[in-house]
Amino acid sequence: MFKTHRLNNTGFEEVEKFKDTLRKTVTTLEKMLPTDSRELSMFKTKMEEAAFWGTRAIAMKEKNQEHK
């Protein structure tokens, strides 16, 4: 359950692609939301959570793990 998964090069590439896509999406959507609002703050928090769980999901894939 609490095992650490070390990423191989493929995993690092997938995580970077995932985060880049998420970053672009957030940047686009932020422009549609009111600035300095609680809603924007909550949106950013939830997107940070999505980045965490998405990265974890990518790391869980066997093909993305470095094996010793």
Q: What confidence tens digit (pLDDT) does each residue in 16-53 have?
A: 999 999 999 999 999 999 998 999 999 999 999 999 99
The pLDDT assigned to 12 comes to 97
DSSP state of 7: B
How far apart CA 55 and CA 47 sit, in angstroms, is 12
What are the backbone dihedrals phi and psi of residue 6, each rounded to the nearest 5 degrees, phi first?
Answer: -85, 130
- Reported as a pLDDT band with limits 50, 70 and 90, residue 68 is low
Full-model pTM: 0.84
